[in-house]
Amino acid sequence: MTNHSAAVPKIGVFDSGVGGLSVLKAIRREHPIVDFIYIADSGNAPYGSRPAAFIESRAHQIAERLVDAGAQVIVVACNTATAVAVARLRSHLPVPIIAMEPAIKPAVAQTKTGVVGVLATERTIESANVARLCRKFGQGVNVLLQPCPGLVEFVERGELSSARTREYLRMLVIPLMDKGTDTLVLGCTHYVFLESEIRDIAGPAVQIIESSAAVARQTLRHIGSKDIASAPYPGRGTFLTTGSPDSARVIFSQLWGAQVEVGALENSNVWAENRLN
Ligand code: DGL
């Protein structure tokens, strides 16, 4: 086990909060025995309404912590942090940085009505990155950009299907449907946990696209070893938060789908490690 664990790749994953767990789950679906450290900056979430300089600085500090902890690859499991910080991370850190952006390109390729809806945070919607994606891939298609202030907070609270959540989602999604949207992009990793509610509102004919599987495949291209993937090793994961570990334990376990321990980022002596099946 010891020799084996030395050969297991270690990835670092971070997000403003719990949304990036959707990406980490996708990575582990592709590569169940990868070791990871996940940092949720829940003490500073949401990023989407913060100034770009703040997000950039947080992303840099957190990514540095992951590198110091031995991560061989960093996954920025946050569209908002990618939009404002990816260039700095790539130029300052010594490991590959895998980042995410709203799946506008595949959505444009799939739409039949010529109307694509994008749900994302304010900061992502107004970013140069999204403007570039619309310019490059959105020609001839109506790309409706819908900022969703406050939606991340519902997920951070674990409020995935309450009446309030549904009511807010209806307010965001129905106007997009009324304009003929047949393809909906979830441009924030938190929203993946709301997908079934969004599907109920948007209806069965609408394509819902998000980037976690694509990011997982890209991560594998950096760490991938099919030999390791077939070995009987369960993988180890450390979950850390800058918020309250007690609240985090509840919401992480809910979203992960199993009971997990969550440590405080600042208290690096008590980083709890989970053995995962
Ligand atoms: N999960 C982050 C994203 O993908 C949410 C950002 C926020 O905290 O507003 O954009």
pLDDT digits (tens, 9 = 90+) for 19-72: 999 999 999 888 777 889 999 999 999 998 899 999 999 999 999 999 999 999
Is residue 260, in this structure, part of any structural domain at all?
yes
Ligand 1 centre to CA of 189 (Å) is 6
Which pLDDT band holds residue 275 (cuts at 50, 70, 90)? low
DSSP conformation class of 126: T
> Does the annotation list 48 as a binding residue?
yes
> Does the annotation list 242 as a binding residue?
no
The per-residue pLDDT for range 125-173, each reduced to its tens digit, is 999 999 999 999 999 999 999 999 999 999 999 999 999 999 999 999 9
Atom of ligand 1 nearest to the CA of 121: 9
Average pLDDT, the chain: 91
State yes or no: pLDDT of 271 exceeds 70. no
Q: Using an 8 Å Cβ cutoff, are 4 and 230 in contact?
A: no
Is residue 272, in this structure, part of any structural domain at all?
no
Atom of ligand 1 nearest to the CA of 20: 1
Which residues fall within 8 angstroms of residue 51, CB to CB, at 6 or more apart?
Answer: none
- Supply the pLDDT for residue 136: 97
Judge if 157 and 74 occupy the same domain: no
Judge if 205 and 232 occupy the same domain: no
Judge if 45 and 95 occupy the same domain: yes
What pTM, to 2 d.p., does this model score? 0.93
Vertex 258, ends 74 and 190: CA angle to 5°? 50
- Supply the pLDDT for residue 266: 83
State yes or no: pLDDT of 184 exceeds 80. yes
The SS3 of residue 239 is strand
Q: Which of 79, 84, 119 is the best mutation target for the ligand 1 pocket, counting ligand atoms within 8 Å of the beta carbon and taking the most? A: 79
Judge if 54 and 66 occupy the same domain: yes
The C-alpha atoms of residue 104 and residue 156 are separated, in whole angstroms, by 25
- Supply the pLDDT for residue 125: 96
Judge if 94 and 111 occupy the same domain: no
Is residue 90, in this structure, part of any structural domain at all?
yes
Judge if 47 and 113 occupy the same domain: no
| Other residues' Cβ atoms within 10 Å of the Cβ of residue 197 | 20
| Other residues' Cβ atoms within 10 Å of the Cβ of residue 22 | 24
Atom of ligand 1 nearest to the CA of 187: 4
Mean pLDDT of 215-220: 92
Q: Using an 8 Å Cβ cutoff, are 89 and 74 in contact?
A: yes
The C-alpha atoms of residue 204 and residue 120 are separated, in whole angstroms, by 21
For the chain, report the end-to-end CA distance as a whole number of angstroms.
15
Range of the domain at 198: 104-210
Is residue 178, in this structure, part of any structural domain at all?
yes
Residues labelled as active-site residues = 78, 188
Is residue 273, in this structure, part of any structural domain at all?
no
Pocket lined around ligand 1, Cβ cut-off 6 Å: 15-17, 19, 45-48, 78-80, 121, 124, 152, 188-190
Ligand 1 centre to CA of 53 (Å) is 15
Judge if 56 and 131 occupy the same domain: no
Which pLDDT band holds residue 227 (cuts at 50, 70, 90)? low
> Does the annotation list 162 as a binding residue?
no
Which residues fall within 8 angstroms of residue 205, CB to CB, at 6 or more apart?
Answer: 182
What is the count of structural domains for the chain? Answer: 2
Atom of ligand 1 nearest to the CA of 123: 9
Is residue 277, in this structure, part of any structural domain at all?
no
Judge if 229 and 203 occupy the same domain: no
Which pLDDT band holds residue 195 (cuts at 50, 70, 90)? very high
State yes or no: pLDDT of 1 exceeds 50. no
Which pLDDT band holds residue 9 (cuts at 50, 70, 90)? confident
> Does the annotation list 274 as a binding residue?
no
- Supply the pLDDT for residue 228: 54
Judge if 90 and 108 occupy the same domain: no
- Supply the pLDDT for residue 167: 98
Instruction: Give the residue whose CA is nearest to atom 9 of ligand 1.
Output: 48
Q: Which of 25, 121, 125, 153 is the best mutation target for the ligand 1 pocket, counting ligand atoms within 8 Å of the beta carbon and taking the most? A: 121
Provide the CATH number for the domain around residue 108: 3.40.50.1860
Judge if 132 and 256 occupy the same domain: no
Which residues fall within 8 angstroms of residue 200, CB to CB, at 6 or more apart?
Answer: 166
- Supply the pLDDT for residue 29: 87
Ligand 1 centre to CA of 33 (Å) is 26
Which residues fall within 8 angstroms of residue 5, CB to CB, at 6 or more apart?
Answer: 35, 233, 236
* Tokens 């945070």 sit on residue: 121
Instruction: Give the residue whose CA is nearest to atom 2 of ligand 1.
Output: 78
Judge if 87 and 62 occupy the same domain: yes
Judge if 57 and 95 occupy the same domain: yes
Is residue 37, in this structure, part of any structural domain at all?
yes
Residue where a domain stops, chosen among 210, 233, 256: 210
Residue where a domain stops, chosen among 210, 230, 259: 210
Which residues in 143-171 are b (16+ Cβ under 10 Å) and which e?
bbbbbbeebbebbbebebeeeebbebbee
Is residue 173, in this structure, part of any structural domain at all?
yes
